[in-house]
Each structure stands twice: as C-alpha cells, then as structure tokens.
A = this chain, B = another copy of it.
Amino acid sequence: MIRVGIVGISGFGGKVLLDILLKHKDVRITYVAANSTTGRVDDIWPEFRRRTDLVCTKYDPAQAIEHCDLLFLALPHMESMKIVDPLLKAGKKVIDLSADYRLKKTSLYKKWYSAEHMDRKNISKAVYGLPEIFRAKIGKAKFIANPGCYPTAALLGLAPLVSVQGSNVASVIIDAKSGVSGAGRKVAEGFMFCFVNENFKAYRVLNHQHTPEISQYLGIMAGRELPTVFVPHLLPINNGILETIYVSLKKAVSQVRLEDLYRKFYKTEPFVRVMPNGVQVEIKNVVNTNFCDISISLSDDRKLVVITSVIDNLVKGAAGQAVQNMNIMYGFEEQEGLL
C-alpha cells in the first residue's frame, strides 16, 4: 500500500486519476492539491459525493513530501517544471502528465511551447512512460514523463511498423480527431456547446505542439528521422481519439505479413488490441478503458498502409497510462485499477 498524491485535481486528468486510484487496491490517496481551486473534492467534482471525503488544498511542497511516496502531476505545461525538482530531491517518485519533460531538446520545447524550459537538468532523468515500448526502463524509473494523448495513439499505431520496418517507411501522415476533453477544462468560446456541437474542424494544422513529441519517439523507434505530418481535428464528443495514419512504404508488403507483424509485436500487451482483418476500430469500444485498438489496411499496390488507432484521451492518453506506469514502477499487477 503506497501513499499517492494528485496535484491538479480540478482538471479532467486529475478527475480520472482520482476515479481510478479510488478503486486501486494497492494505493491510498493521501494528498490532493491544485493551484487555484481548493475545498472538498466532491464540491469540485460532484460525481464523487459518497465516494471520497478528500479535501483539496493549495499545493505545498512540504506537505506533498510529507504525505506521499508518489506524486501524480496533472498540471498544465509550464506548471510541472516549477515543482518537480524538490520532489525528486526528497526521494519522491513523480509521474508528470504534462508536456514538460517529454521533449529531450529544450530548443524544441521553446519552439513549440513558446517558453524557456526552467528545469533542464531533470529532463534527462525522465523516462517516457509508454509501457509498450519502454517497459523495462519504466520498471526502474523514479520520474516518468507521461505521454501526450495524440502521441500515445500515434506511437502505438506506428510502433510495430516503424520499429521493424523503419528503413522501409517513406513518409507518415497522421490525421487525428479528438474529443473535446482533450482541450482540458478550458472556458473559451471555441469549446462552448453551440460552437462544437454539430460542428467539426481542423485546428493548429501542421502546427500542433504534439508534433515534435511524435517525431522524437518515432525517430527513436525507427533509428532514423521520419518525415511526419500531423493534423488534429475537434470531434463533437466528450472523450476519445481516433487517428488515421497513412504510411507510404518504399517496398510493398503483404497484408498477412503486416498483420502478423502487429500481432506478434503486441502479443503479450494487456492494453493493445489488434483488430481482426476487415474490422475497423471505433472510439466507443475504448471510452472509459485503458485500451488502444488498432486496425490495419493496405492499398491495392501494397505500398500504402492505413492504420486506425483509438484510445480514450483521458485514460490510455493520460490518467490510465499514468496508473499503468505506476503499476510497473512498483511491481503491482499491470492491469490493477484499469480493468
């Protein structure tokens, strides 16, 4: 039984963390904090009435250190980097759900997040928390940079092909569609019901901050840089991401070989499901779960692979994956709290 804290309870990521951790048999939530909101957690999120008496206080590092073995940081970018260092120095384990420690080059951080990084020395300590690729490292890690939602769906959708046939990949185009909760609990006209419902649009075309995160880890898996195009869209649903990924190959492959590649790659993975041939993934099948579902199609000339990959952006794309990482770090059963 470890003692865990959630920092950033007022956001959607914090809420889903709370939901999962309350059901987790190996942890006790001993600390809940936020930057601005304070008070009973079930006043902040009325759905938790009768489920918890936790009280959220303004974040205080001394209290976090005193009460917790592990801290989940469900904060906006630029906020995590202000509080990570003292926690690590105090020997605490940290799982950071923000984007602050995912990019290895601070120049990229500056370019895509329009800000200087303020905690450079801890970047190299962060292990990228994508268990299907980096499970061994996660098992020994003290500090996890939990992947972004779009990158999770993209990297899991591409990992088998790019890892095994990296030199055969000519180009990658990722057409991504996300539910509204991906934008966080932001109060802005663009996320008002009447501006989202019965609507659909692309945004930050070729310009989204998750692009370099995807490129970086595709590059690591492929062993070389891969030209990657990323275009996100806003779906009129609460939760879920579907990415349609177009991979141009230099040499043709067969559908059988491709499927075989995917099935072998994910054979023992508890949270990745490769669909039977001809069956398309659907967002509804993964909402409220930690699963990533993947379908693979091949063009007639067998040189274009179309991969569809779905996750719940708040679960496998955020809080669920964070708990999966914790389970690996502590040797808990990997599915605990997540099934």
* Of A129-137, A227-235, A316-324, the one with at least 4 CB within 8 A of chain B: A227-235
Q: Is A102 an interface residue (CB 8 A)?
A: no
| A50–B279 touching, CB < 8 Å | no
| B246–A193 touching, CB < 8 Å | no
| B246–A173 touching, CB < 8 Å | yes
Contacts of A180 in B (CB 8 A): 192-194, 197
Pick from A196, A286, A293 the residue with the most CB of B within 10 Å.
A196
Q: Size band of the A side of the interface? A: 35 or more
The smallest beta-carbon distance between A265 and chain B, in angstroms, is 15
Contacts known (A201-B282, A202-B280, A281-B201); A194 close to B238, Cβ less than 8 A: yes
Closest residue of chain B to A50 (Cβ to Cβ) is: B273
Contacts of A297 in B (CB 8 A): 205-206
Q: Which of A283-336 contact B (CB under 8 A)?
A: 283-289, 291, 293, 295, 297-300, 304, 306, 308
Contacts of A239 in B (CB 8 A): 198
The smallest beta-carbon distance between A169 and chain B, in angstroms, is 15
Contact pick for A197, options B171, B193, B246, B248, CB 8 Å: B193
| B193–A236 touching, CB < 8 Å | yes
| A280–B201 touching, CB < 8 Å | yes
Contacts of A51 in B (CB 8 A): 339
| B205–A46 touching, CB < 8 Å | no
The smallest beta-carbon distance between A322 and chain B, in angstroms, is 20
Contacts of A36 in B (CB 8 A): none
| A282–B339 touching, CB < 8 Å | no
Q: Which of A1-36 contact B (CB under 8 A)?
A: 12, 22-23
The smallest beta-carbon distance between A281 and chain B, in angstroms, is 7
Contacts known (A47-B289, A236-B236, A304-B229); A242 close to B282, Cβ less than 8 A: no
Contacts known (A192-B192, A237-B236, A304-B229); A285 close to B205, Cβ less than 8 A: no
| B282–A238 touching, CB < 8 Å | no
| B306–A237 touching, CB < 8 Å | no
Contact pick for A50, options B200, B236, B270, CB 8 Å: B270
CA distance A47 to B132 in the complex (A): 20
CA distance A71 to B93 in the complex (A): 46
Contacts known (A49-B273, A173-B173, A244-B233); A202 close to B339, Cβ less than 8 A: no
